[in-house]
Amino acid sequence: MIWIRSLIFSIGQWLFTIVFCTLGLLTFPLQPHTRYGILTNWAHAMLWWLRVCCGLSFKVTGAENIPQTPSIVLCKHQSAWETLALQLIFPPQVWVLKRELLWLPFFGWCLALTSPIAINRAAGREALKQLVTQGKDRLAQKFWVVIFPEGTRSPDGVLQEFKKGGFILALHSQHPIVPISLSGSHRILPKRGGWKIQPGRVQLTISAPIPTEGLSTRERDELIRRVRDAIREHLTAREGGLLPDSAVQNPPS
């Protein structure tokens, strides 16, 4: 039954995506926030379809910690599920993502209309400058900025190394960081699991925002530690919550 339900979901997903994104291209002349408000309905529909077809539900804890002003969301990354759920939970947002995603037919074209920060990962320092410049611009436009500090999905749920880009943006913009923990999504939508979707429930926990106002770039490593600790606090031992610091090293400056 899992295979059948996953197949039904995949067929429905592709049919809906092609139709929705074709119509979504008509939002091009609209203002960025208006475009986002329309296009994010795709993510809402996919979460509903996942629940109906595959029995995938979720629980959010800590919603009261969401600030009133635009912030930088640093979220643990386990599967594609959180890319949908964060759009339902948080105010209008933009994503830091690899630019190749914008080249995908239909989906990528509409993704480009949501004002993402699409970077060339191979560009090194130039990509970091782009992240800071465009990130500050999006925050000034009252968008939230969503970043996965691990850079890629964790296949086993264990917390991986943190990239420095999101922290540098936070320090340069002086906007707070909202740490997000996840438990369970890697088992439901595994990184190397193909299109087979397991039923279950994901736990998403929103920690209290960490202010960056008044901090300098010299305090980046301490900021990384605070955010990692906040995320690890709500993880199980298997997912990295109880790993020693020596097991998760930060990249060099």
Residue with tokens 């000034």: 140
Asked whether residue 199 is domain-assigned, the answer is yes
Please state, in angstroms and rounded to a whole number, the distance separating the CA atoms of residues 10 and 113: 24
Residue 225's pLDDT band, with cuts at 50, 70 and 90, is very high
What pLDDT does 241 receive?
53
H-type alpha helices, 55-105: 81-89
Residue 128: which domain range? 2-247
CATH assignment of the domain containing 151: 3.40.1130
What pLDDT does 193 receive?
59
Name the domain count of the chain.
1
| Cα distances (angstroms) measured from residue 198 to each of 21, 26, 42, 102, 201 | 27, 35, 21, 28, 10
Asked whether residue 252 is domain-assigned, the answer is no
Residue 10 near residue 196 (C-beta atoms within 8 A): no
Beta-bridge mates of residue 182: 204
Asked whether residue 109 is domain-assigned, the answer is yes
Per-residue model confidence as pLDDT tens digits over 107-157: 999 999 999 999 988 888 899 999 999 999 999 999 999 999 998 888 777
What pLDDT does 189 receive?
77
What pLDDT does 198 receive?
86
